Amino acid sequence: MEQKETGLNRITEYQQLVDDTLKGRSYGAHPRELYEPIEYIMSLGGKRMRPVLVLMACEFFGGDVKNALHASIAVELFHNFTLVHDDIMDKAPLRRGKQTVHVKWNDNIAILSGDAMMVRAYQELCKTDVAQLPALLEIFSDTAAKVCEGQQLDMNYERVSKVPIPNYIKMIELKTAVLLGGALKMGALTGGAREEDAQQLYNFGKHIGIAFQLQDDILDVYADAEKFGKQKGGDIIANKKTYLLLKAMEMAETNRYLKEELQLWIAAPHFDAKEKVEAVTNIYNFLNVKELARAEMKKQYAAAMACLKGIPVAEEKKNALIAFADSLMVREV
Protein backbone atom coordinates (compact mmCIF):
# COMPACT_ATOMS: atom_id res chain seq x y z
CA MET A 1 0.00 0.00 0.00
CA GLU A 2 2.79 2.35 0.94
CA GLN A 3 4.65 1.44 -2.20
CA LYS A 4 1.59 2.10 -4.27
CA GLU A 5 1.19 5.55 -2.75
CA THR A 6 4.82 6.29 -3.47
CA GLY A 7 4.17 5.22 -7.04
CA LEU A 8 1.18 7.54 -7.33
CA ASN A 9 3.08 10.44 -5.82
CA ARG A 10 5.77 9.87 -8.39
CA ILE A 11 3.16 10.02 -11.16
CA THR A 12 1.96 13.39 -9.87
CA GLU A 13 5.56 14.63 -9.96
CA TYR A 14 5.95 13.44 -13.54
CA GLN A 15 2.70 15.17 -14.51
CA GLN A 16 3.95 18.34 -12.91
CA LEU A 17 7.20 18.13 -14.85
CA VAL A 18 5.30 17.66 -18.11
CA ASP A 19 2.95 20.55 -17.36
CA ASP A 20 5.80 22.85 -16.33
CA THR A 21 7.76 21.98 -19.46
CA LEU A 22 4.72 22.55 -21.66
CA LYS A 23 4.13 25.94 -20.05
CA GLY A 24 7.61 26.98 -21.18
CA ARG A 25 7.07 25.90 -24.78
CA SER A 26 6.08 28.27 -27.55
CA TYR A 27 4.99 26.80 -30.86
CA GLY A 28 5.31 29.83 -33.10
CA ALA A 29 4.15 33.42 -33.25
CA HIS A 30 2.90 34.24 -36.69
CA PRO A 31 0.36 33.73 -38.20
CA ARG A 32 -1.72 33.65 -35.02
CA GLU A 33 -4.46 31.61 -36.72
CA LEU A 34 -1.98 28.75 -37.07
CA TYR A 35 -0.43 28.79 -33.61
CA GLU A 36 -3.27 29.91 -31.34
CA PRO A 37 -5.19 26.62 -31.82
CA ILE A 38 -2.02 24.71 -30.87
CA GLU A 39 -1.62 26.72 -27.67
CA TYR A 40 -5.33 26.21 -26.99
CA ILE A 41 -5.42 22.43 -27.34
CA MET A 42 -2.12 21.97 -25.50
CA SER A 43 -3.41 24.03 -22.57
CA LEU A 44 -6.66 22.08 -22.16
CA GLY A 45 -4.83 19.76 -19.85
CA GLY A 46 -5.73 16.14 -19.46
CA LYS A 47 -3.87 13.49 -17.54
CA ARG A 48 -0.69 13.76 -19.66
CA MET A 49 -0.73 9.99 -19.56
CA ARG A 50 1.54 9.43 -22.56
CA PRO A 51 4.33 11.87 -21.73
CA VAL A 52 4.30 10.58 -18.14
CA LEU A 53 4.80 7.05 -19.49
CA VAL A 54 7.88 8.21 -21.44
CA LEU A 55 9.41 9.67 -18.27
CA MET A 56 8.49 6.67 -16.11
CA ALA A 57 10.00 4.23 -18.57
CA CYS A 58 13.23 6.21 -18.70
CA GLU A 59 13.62 6.20 -14.93
CA PHE A 60 12.50 2.59 -14.75
CA PHE A 61 15.70 1.65 -16.56
CA GLY A 62 17.81 3.96 -14.45
CA GLY A 63 17.95 6.87 -16.89
CA ASP A 64 17.77 10.56 -16.14
CA VAL A 65 14.32 11.95 -17.03
CA LYS A 66 16.01 14.99 -18.55
CA ASN A 67 17.07 12.75 -21.45
CA ALA A 68 13.48 11.68 -22.03
CA LEU A 69 11.86 15.09 -21.79
CA HIS A 70 11.92 15.93 -25.51
CA ALA A 71 10.48 12.55 -26.45
CA SER A 72 7.87 13.03 -23.75
CA ILE A 73 6.72 16.40 -25.08
CA ALA A 74 6.85 15.11 -28.66
CA VAL A 75 4.48 12.29 -27.77
CA GLU A 76 2.05 14.72 -26.10
CA LEU A 77 2.16 17.03 -29.13
CA PHE A 78 1.52 14.11 -31.44
CA HIS A 79 -1.36 12.86 -29.29
CA ASN A 80 -3.00 16.29 -29.29
CA PHE A 81 -2.50 16.55 -33.05
CA THR A 82 -4.48 13.31 -33.46
CA LEU A 83 -7.23 14.73 -31.22
CA VAL A 84 -7.53 17.86 -33.39
CA HIS A 85 -7.79 15.87 -36.63
CA ASP A 86 -9.97 13.09 -35.18
CA ASP A 87 -12.40 15.69 -33.84
CA ILE A 88 -12.83 17.10 -37.35
CA MET A 89 -13.48 13.62 -38.75
CA ASP A 90 -15.87 12.71 -35.93
CA LYS A 91 -17.56 16.15 -36.02
CA ALA A 92 -17.04 16.29 -32.26
CA PRO A 93 -18.21 19.54 -30.63
CA LEU A 94 -16.38 19.15 -27.32
CA ARG A 95 -12.99 18.01 -26.09
CA ARG A 96 -12.25 17.99 -22.37
CA GLY A 97 -15.42 20.01 -21.86
CA LYS A 98 -14.30 22.81 -24.18
CA GLN A 99 -15.01 23.58 -27.81
CA THR A 100 -12.98 21.53 -30.26
CA VAL A 101 -10.54 23.41 -32.50
CA HIS A 102 -12.61 22.98 -35.66
CA VAL A 103 -15.67 24.39 -33.88
CA LYS A 104 -13.87 27.26 -32.12
CA TRP A 105 -12.10 28.18 -35.38
CA ASN A 106 -12.97 26.16 -38.49
CA ASP A 107 -12.12 22.92 -40.30
CA ASN A 108 -9.34 24.44 -42.40
CA ILE A 109 -7.58 25.93 -39.41
CA ALA A 110 -7.96 22.62 -37.55
CA ILE A 111 -6.44 20.70 -40.47
CA LEU A 112 -3.52 23.08 -40.86
CA SER A 113 -2.70 23.70 -37.23
CA GLY A 114 -2.88 19.94 -36.73
CA ASP A 115 -0.32 19.53 -39.51
CA ALA A 116 1.90 22.14 -37.90
CA MET A 117 1.61 20.29 -34.57
CA MET A 118 2.89 17.11 -36.14
CA VAL A 119 5.89 19.00 -37.49
CA ARG A 120 6.49 20.56 -34.05
CA ALA A 121 6.30 17.08 -32.51
CA TYR A 122 9.11 15.89 -34.78
CA GLN A 123 11.09 19.06 -34.05
CA GLU A 124 10.74 18.47 -30.33
CA LEU A 125 11.81 14.84 -30.68
CA CYS A 126 14.83 15.89 -32.75
CA LYS A 127 16.24 17.83 -29.80
CA THR A 128 17.05 14.45 -28.22
CA ASP A 129 20.69 13.38 -28.03
CA VAL A 130 21.75 12.30 -31.51
CA ALA A 131 22.99 8.92 -30.26
CA GLN A 132 19.41 7.95 -29.42
CA LEU A 133 17.59 9.90 -32.10
CA PRO A 134 17.39 7.34 -34.94
CA ALA A 135 15.91 4.66 -32.67
CA LEU A 136 13.40 7.12 -31.19
CA LEU A 137 12.40 8.41 -34.62
CA GLU A 138 11.79 4.87 -35.79
CA ILE A 139 9.43 4.07 -32.92
CA PHE A 140 7.75 7.47 -33.11
CA SER A 141 6.99 7.26 -36.85
CA ASP A 142 6.04 3.60 -36.70
CA THR A 143 3.60 4.38 -33.90
CA ALA A 144 2.25 7.45 -35.71
CA ALA A 145 1.55 5.42 -38.85
CA LYS A 146 -0.25 2.75 -36.80
CA VAL A 147 -2.41 5.40 -35.09
CA CYS A 148 -3.50 6.63 -38.56
CA GLU A 149 -4.33 3.05 -39.53
CA GLY A 150 -6.38 2.62 -36.36
CA GLN A 151 -8.35 5.81 -36.99
CA GLN A 152 -9.08 4.68 -40.57
CA LEU A 153 -10.25 1.26 -39.35
CA ASP A 154 -12.48 2.98 -36.79
CA MET A 155 -14.06 5.05 -39.57
CA ASN A 156 -14.40 1.96 -41.78
CA TYR A 157 -16.13 0.04 -39.00
CA GLU A 158 -18.72 2.79 -38.61
CA ARG A 159 -20.02 1.98 -42.06
CA VAL A 160 -20.27 -1.80 -41.87
CA SER A 161 -22.90 -3.72 -39.95
CA LYS A 162 -20.66 -6.39 -38.42
CA VAL A 163 -17.14 -6.27 -37.06
CA PRO A 164 -15.57 -9.48 -35.70
CA ILE A 165 -14.27 -9.04 -32.13
CA PRO A 166 -10.61 -9.75 -33.07
CA ASN A 167 -10.78 -6.95 -35.67
CA TYR A 168 -12.21 -4.62 -33.06
CA ILE A 169 -9.40 -5.46 -30.64
CA LYS A 170 -6.88 -4.86 -33.43
CA MET A 171 -8.48 -1.49 -34.19
CA ILE A 172 -8.29 -0.24 -30.59
CA GLU A 173 -4.74 -1.60 -30.39
CA LEU A 174 -3.74 0.58 -33.35
CA LYS A 175 -5.84 3.62 -32.56
CA THR A 176 -5.17 3.85 -28.83
CA ALA A 177 -2.88 1.22 -27.37
CA VAL A 178 0.25 1.41 -29.55
CA LEU A 179 0.80 5.02 -28.53
CA LEU A 180 1.03 3.97 -24.88
CA GLY A 181 3.41 1.21 -25.96
CA GLY A 182 5.41 3.58 -28.16
CA ALA A 183 5.67 6.14 -25.36
CA LEU A 184 7.03 3.49 -22.99
CA LYS A 185 9.47 2.09 -25.55
CA MET A 186 10.83 5.53 -26.36
CA GLY A 187 11.27 6.28 -22.68
CA ALA A 188 12.92 2.90 -22.14
CA LEU A 189 15.50 3.56 -24.84
CA THR A 190 16.35 7.01 -23.46
CA GLY A 191 16.85 5.21 -20.14
CA GLY A 192 19.37 2.86 -21.68
CA ALA A 193 17.17 -0.25 -21.91
CA ARG A 194 18.15 -3.17 -24.10
CA GLU A 195 15.97 -3.47 -27.22
CA GLU A 196 14.24 -6.64 -25.98
CA ASP A 197 13.39 -5.09 -22.60
CA ALA A 198 12.13 -1.92 -24.28
CA GLN A 199 9.94 -4.12 -26.49
CA GLN A 200 8.54 -5.91 -23.46
CA LEU A 201 7.60 -2.56 -21.97
CA TYR A 202 6.00 -1.63 -25.32
CA ASN A 203 3.88 -4.78 -25.06
CA PHE A 204 3.00 -3.94 -21.44
CA GLY A 205 1.70 -0.56 -22.63
CA LYS A 206 -0.15 -2.06 -25.55
CA HIS A 207 -2.06 -4.51 -23.36
CA ILE A 208 -2.81 -1.82 -20.76
CA GLY A 209 -4.09 0.40 -23.57
CA ILE A 210 -6.44 -2.28 -24.85
CA ALA A 211 -7.66 -3.02 -21.32
CA PHE A 212 -8.23 0.70 -20.75
CA GLN A 213 -10.34 1.02 -23.91
CA LEU A 214 -12.39 -2.04 -23.01
CA GLN A 215 -13.01 -0.53 -19.59
CA ASP A 216 -14.16 2.64 -21.35
CA ASP A 217 -16.67 0.59 -23.35
CA ILE A 218 -18.01 -0.96 -20.14
CA LEU A 219 -18.11 2.32 -18.20
CA ASP A 220 -20.20 4.01 -20.86
CA VAL A 221 -23.04 1.65 -20.00
CA TYR A 222 -22.39 0.57 -16.43
CA ALA A 223 -20.59 3.41 -14.70
CA ASP A 224 -22.13 5.51 -12.01
CA ALA A 225 -23.01 8.42 -14.33
CA GLU A 226 -22.23 11.06 -11.72
CA LYS A 227 -18.80 9.66 -10.91
CA PHE A 228 -17.94 9.10 -14.55
CA GLY A 229 -19.06 12.55 -15.66
CA LYS A 230 -20.28 11.48 -19.08
CA GLN A 231 -23.74 10.89 -20.47
CA LYS A 232 -24.63 7.34 -19.57
CA GLY A 233 -25.12 5.12 -22.61
CA GLY A 234 -23.73 7.67 -25.06
CA ASP A 235 -22.21 4.85 -27.06
CA ILE A 236 -25.55 3.04 -27.21
CA ILE A 237 -27.38 6.16 -28.36
CA ALA A 238 -24.80 6.70 -31.12
CA ASN A 239 -24.71 3.00 -32.13
CA LYS A 240 -20.98 3.10 -31.45
CA LYS A 241 -19.43 -0.24 -32.19
CA THR A 242 -18.03 -1.05 -28.77
CA TYR A 243 -16.95 -4.46 -27.53
CA LEU A 244 -20.33 -4.75 -25.83
CA LEU A 245 -22.39 -4.05 -28.94
CA LEU A 246 -20.24 -6.22 -31.20
CA LYS A 247 -20.31 -9.10 -28.75
CA ALA A 248 -24.07 -8.73 -28.32
CA MET A 249 -24.55 -8.73 -32.09
CA GLU A 250 -22.39 -11.82 -32.41
CA MET A 251 -24.28 -13.67 -29.67
CA ALA A 252 -27.68 -12.56 -30.90
CA GLU A 253 -27.01 -14.30 -34.21
CA THR A 254 -28.44 -17.51 -32.75
CA ASN A 255 -31.43 -15.86 -31.09
CA ARG A 256 -33.85 -14.50 -33.65
CA TYR A 257 -35.89 -12.48 -31.18
CA LEU A 258 -32.89 -10.71 -29.63
CA LYS A 259 -31.30 -10.16 -33.01
CA GLU A 260 -34.43 -8.43 -34.30
CA GLU A 261 -34.82 -6.27 -31.22
CA LEU A 262 -31.19 -5.17 -31.32
CA GLN A 263 -31.48 -4.42 -35.04
CA LEU A 264 -34.66 -2.42 -34.47
CA TRP A 265 -32.95 -0.18 -31.92
CA ILE A 266 -29.88 0.24 -34.08
CA ALA A 267 -31.93 1.10 -37.16
CA ALA A 268 -34.47 3.34 -35.40
CA PRO A 269 -34.30 6.86 -36.85
CA HIS A 270 -36.27 8.34 -33.94
CA PHE A 271 -36.24 7.07 -30.38
CA ASP A 272 -36.36 8.11 -26.77
CA ALA A 273 -32.74 8.09 -25.65
CA LYS A 274 -33.41 6.78 -22.16
CA GLU A 275 -35.66 4.04 -23.54
CA LYS A 276 -33.04 2.94 -26.07
CA VAL A 277 -30.28 2.85 -23.45
CA GLU A 278 -32.47 0.78 -21.15
CA ALA A 279 -33.56 -1.64 -23.84
CA VAL A 280 -30.06 -2.23 -25.21
CA THR A 281 -28.64 -2.51 -21.69
CA ASN A 282 -31.25 -5.17 -20.99
CA ILE A 283 -30.05 -7.12 -24.01
CA TYR A 284 -26.46 -6.74 -22.82
CA ASN A 285 -27.46 -7.97 -19.37
CA PHE A 286 -29.37 -10.91 -20.76
CA LEU A 287 -26.39 -11.92 -22.88
CA ASN A 288 -23.95 -11.24 -20.08
CA VAL A 289 -21.67 -9.22 -22.40
CA LYS A 290 -20.42 -7.08 -19.53
CA GLU A 291 -18.82 -10.15 -17.95
CA LEU A 292 -17.30 -11.15 -21.26
CA ALA A 293 -15.88 -7.66 -21.76
CA ARG A 294 -14.49 -7.72 -18.23
CA ALA A 295 -12.94 -11.12 -18.89
CA GLU A 296 -11.20 -9.77 -22.00
CA MET A 297 -10.12 -6.68 -20.08
CA LYS A 298 -8.65 -8.79 -17.30
CA LYS A 299 -6.92 -11.01 -19.83
CA GLN A 300 -5.26 -7.95 -21.35
CA TYR A 301 -4.33 -6.60 -17.92
CA ALA A 302 -2.80 -9.96 -16.99
CA ALA A 303 -0.88 -10.04 -20.27
CA ALA A 304 0.46 -6.59 -19.46
CA MET A 305 1.62 -7.72 -16.03
CA ALA A 306 3.27 -10.81 -17.53
CA CYS A 307 5.26 -8.54 -19.87
CA LEU A 308 6.36 -6.42 -16.94
CA LYS A 309 7.31 -9.48 -14.91
CA GLY A 310 9.61 -10.63 -17.71
CA ILE A 311 11.76 -7.52 -17.53
CA PRO A 312 14.93 -8.00 -15.44
CA VAL A 313 14.52 -4.90 -13.29
CA ALA A 314 14.16 -4.92 -9.49
CA GLU A 315 10.55 -5.66 -8.54
CA GLU A 316 10.15 -2.56 -6.34
CA LYS A 317 10.94 -0.36 -9.37
CA LYS A 318 7.91 -1.84 -11.09
CA ASN A 319 5.55 -0.34 -8.51
CA ALA A 320 5.25 3.02 -10.23
CA LEU A 321 4.25 1.33 -13.49
CA ILE A 322 1.82 -0.98 -11.72
CA ALA A 323 0.39 1.99 -9.81
CA PHE A 324 -0.02 3.79 -13.11
CA ALA A 325 -1.79 0.84 -14.71
CA ASP A 326 -4.01 0.48 -11.66
CA SER A 327 -4.81 4.19 -11.64
CA LEU A 328 -6.22 3.68 -15.12
CA MET A 329 -8.17 0.60 -14.11
CA VAL A 330 -9.37 1.30 -10.57
CA ARG A 331 -12.79 2.53 -11.48
CA GLU A 332 -15.47 0.05 -10.42
CA VAL A 333 -16.81 -1.86 -13.36
Q: Which of residues 118 and 313 has its CB atom nearest to a copy of itself in the complex? A: 118
Residue 144 near a copy of itself by CB under 8 A: yes
Q: 297-302 long-range contacts, Cβ below 8 Å, gap at least 24?
A: 297/211, 297/214, 297/215, 297/218, 297/329, 297/333, 298/211, 300/207, 300/208, 300/210, 300/211, 300/214, 301/207, 301/208, 301/211, 301/325, 301/329
Minimum distance from CB of 67 to a copy of itself (Å)? Answer: 16
- 112 binding a copy of itself? (CB under 8 A): yes
Q: Report CA torsion sign: 276, 281, 284, 286.
A: negative
* Nearest distance from C-beta of residue 181 to a copy of itself, angstroms: 17
Contact residue for a copy of itself among 43, 89, 273, 288 (CB under 8 A): 89
Identify the DSSP state of 128.
Answer: S
- CB within 8 Å of 17: residues ≥ 6 apart: 55, 65, 69
CB atoms within 10 A of CB 286: 13
**Residue 141 interacting with a copy of itself (CB under 8 A):** yes
- Kindly identify the residues of this chain, within the stretch 91-110, that bind a copy of itself according to CB under 8 A: 107-109
Q: Is 28 in the site for a copy of itself (CB under 8 A)?
A: yes
Name the H helices within 48-194.
49-60, 69-89, 101-104, 107-125, 133-158, 165-172, 178-190
Residues 243-302 that bind a copy of itself (CB under 8 A): none
* 151 near a copy of itself (CB under 8 A): yes
- Is the separation of the CB atoms in 174 and 149 below 8 Å? yes
3-state class (DSSP) for residue 42:
helix
Q: How far is the CB of 30 from a copy of itself (least distance, A)?
A: 7
Residue from the set 16, 43, 47, 155 that interacts with a copy of itself by CB under 8 A: 155
Q: Does residue 24 belong to the site contacting a copy of itself (CB under 8 A)?
A: no
Position 328 contacts a copy of itself (CB under 8 A): no
Interface residue list for a copy of itself (CB under 8 A):
28, 30-31, 33-34, 85, 88-89, 107-109, 111-116, 118-120, 122-123, 126, 130, 133-134, 137-138, 141-142, 144-145, 148-149, 151-153, 155-156
